[in-house]
Amino acid sequence: MSAVRTQWASPGCLHSPRFSTRSVKIAVCVKFPATIKTLLLKQSFALTRLLNPPHSLSMSFSSSSCMDGSYAEIVVVRHGETEWNADGRIQGHLDVELNEAGKQQAALVADRLSKEPKISAVYSSDLKRALVTAETIAAKCGRLEVITDPDLRERNLGELQGLVFREAAKLSPKAHKAFLSHRTDQDIPGGGESLGHLFQRCTSSLQRIGNKHKGERVVVVSHGGVIRSLYKRACPNGKSGGKVLNTSVNIFHLCDEEWTIKSWGDVSHLQQTGYLESGFGGDKTSG
């Protein structure tokens, strides 16, 4: 049973989120009646929100139920910041490079990952902002070759691409309305993708990677909209994962068709560095 898919309420042994700060750690894995389990989860989440501001919330979940090494551990990282992120401009499939802050963020996450368990492979979207981030990580983690996959690209946002988000409703009202729609089959005018199409291509990509790398730890560098779709695949009935910050670390365990989230939204490598930016994207306005 997937720990994340059932984190809010499930029968049997409840693997609740494990949240941590420098001085507080909470871990729960006990059997309770459903009403008590739900209350405990609410209290645990509320405490974490109190200890960690929402924009920097880092969550740790219990590990996969496949404890025999038959799962792949996939470290999914959002690319570093771009000038368009900083300006609130919609990127989509447009190929925008990292700014100086983004390059520093990439270096910091690379240094962090180089000190953690061995990375066997590095995959990336073929867009420059993700690819350069991935190349920085690969060079630091054993001079690995980056494997690119267009299915890891950000959502194609059609007519909205290149627009400043706050001006999009005025400049392209139909596309803006389609973008805000909750319908998964709603395409965006100008060749933009539906949420359903984005979900299908990026989750299929991660599944392929997971099938290929069982028993290994790999890195995937992608985009805010993609990572939110991956969260939805692992946790279809859970609350939103919130904003995906630039170079945040999100760890998935894939055991065949079962997806589990081990940790989410970790930007501890950026704390007290001056590069913890709140760049545009990574949430419902992702692009």
Residue at 266 is within a domain: yes
Q: Is 258 a catalytic residue?
A: no
Residue tagged active-site, from 15, 73, 93, 154:
154
Residue at 12 is within a domain: no
Number of domains in the chain: 1
Residue at 58 is within a domain: no
Residue tagged active-site, from 15, 73, 79, 253:
79
Residue at 48 is within a domain: no
Q: Are 221 and 153 in contact (CB under 8 A)?
A: no
Q: Is 223 a catalytic residue?
A: no
Ligand-binding site membership of 35 (annotated): no
Residue at 109 is within a domain: yes
Structural domain for 242, as ranges: 72-277
Q: Give the pLDDT of residue 11.
A: 27
* Ranges of residues in the chain whose predicted pLDDT is under 70: 1-68, 277-287
Residue at 29 is within a domain: no
Report the DSSP beta bridge partners of residue 221.
77, 124
Q: Give the pLDDT of residue 4.
A: 39
Ligand-binding site membership of 99 (annotated): no
